[in-house]
């Protein structure tokens, strides 16, 4: 991906992970606010191949989730949709992704993993949380319905040395689950995500059965 290669300067690479089933304005605003707050050079949007915490749930085809991610991020020069996780076989663990990125990029590239308040709340339960903490700075954005203070307290009590930057962002009470439910019920989900993503959902009959 288009990150510069000037050895004299530091690059800040953001990674926005998610299932993106579908991607929506909550994800896009979170990434854009994180990009600006931490002066990130680039944000990679990475749909998870086989999300660790959704093993017992139906998740749409990775190619559809990736295509929607491409559509939603296309107009932002600092956003890039990445196949990195969907091309890796097996259960997707963020720590593996960050480890691989760390070994591929030189030392002047810093990694920033972007999350919402619900994800940061659960981070201690993530696979190899301690190593994850050593690989990237975490950016935790506010999200309606989730209390960031609870997350802060848990992280402080964990004894693991996480570097977390908390950012306050415009509240968008949008979730992929809600969009799937609206589509399944034949209700409008327009303007919760981009027109291109809505069009893709309709054209490909996604979420109609509510699986």
Q: Is residue 150 involved in binding ligand ATP (CB under 6 A)?
A: no
79-81, strands of its sheet edge to edge: 79-81, 42-47, 11-18, 109-116, 137-141, 164-167
Reduced to 3 states, what is the DSSP secondary structure of residue 193?
A: coil
Q: Does 92 bind ligand ATP (CB under 6 A)?
A: no
User: In this structure, what token pair is assigned to residue 22?
Assistant: 């579908």
State the CB neighbour count (10 A cutoff) for residue 106.
8
> What separation in angstroms does the CA of 37 have from each of 145, 165, 209?
22, 10, 40
Can you tell me which residue has the tokens 């690059």?
Answer: 11
The site map against ligand ATP for 102-131 (x = CB under 6 A) is: -------------xx-xx------------
* Min separation Cβ 199 and ligand ATP, Å: 19
Q: Does 26 bind ligand ATP (CB under 6 A)?
A: yes
Backbone angles phi, psi at 196, to 5 degrees: -65, -40
192 binds ligand ATP (CB under 6 A): no
Which one among 13, 67, 133, 141 touches ligand ATP, defined by CB under 6 A?
Answer: 141
What would the two tokens of residue 18 be?
């998610």
Q: Which stretch binds ligand ATP (CB under 6 A): 19-27, 88-96, 189-197, 201-209?
A: 19-27
How many residues make contact with ligand ATP (CB under 6 A)?
Answer: 18
Binding interface with ligand ATP (CB under 6 A): 18-21, 26-27, 30, 115-116, 118-119, 141, 143, 172, 174-177
């Amino acid at each position: 991906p288009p990150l510069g290669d000037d050895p004299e300067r530091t690059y800040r690479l953001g990674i926005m992970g998610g299932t993106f089933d579908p991607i929506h304005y909550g994800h896009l605003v979170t990434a854009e606010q994180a990009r600006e707050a931490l002066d990130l050079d680039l944000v990679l949007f990475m749909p998870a191949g086989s999300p660790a915490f959704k093993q017992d749930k139906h998740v749409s085809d990775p190619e559809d989730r990736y295509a929607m991610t491409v559509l939603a991020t296309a107009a932002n020069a600092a956003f890039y949709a990445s196949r990195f996780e969907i091309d890796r076989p097996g259960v997707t663990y963020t720590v593996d992704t960050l480890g691989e990125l760390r070994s591929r990029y030189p030392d002047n590239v810093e990694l920033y993993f972007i999350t919402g308040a619900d994800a940061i709340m659960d981070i201690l339960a993530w696979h190899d949380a301690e190593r994850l903490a050593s690989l990237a700075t975490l950016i935790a954005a506010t999200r309606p319905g989730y209390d960031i203070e609870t997350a802060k307290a848990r992280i402080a009590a964990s004894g693991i040395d996480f570097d977390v930057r908390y950012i306050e962002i415009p509240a968008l009470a949008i979730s992929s689950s809600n969009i799937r439910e609206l589509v399944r019920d034949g209700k409008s989900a327009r303007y919760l995500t981009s027109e291109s993503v809505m069009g893709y959902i309709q054209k490909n009959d996604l979420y109609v059965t509510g699986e």
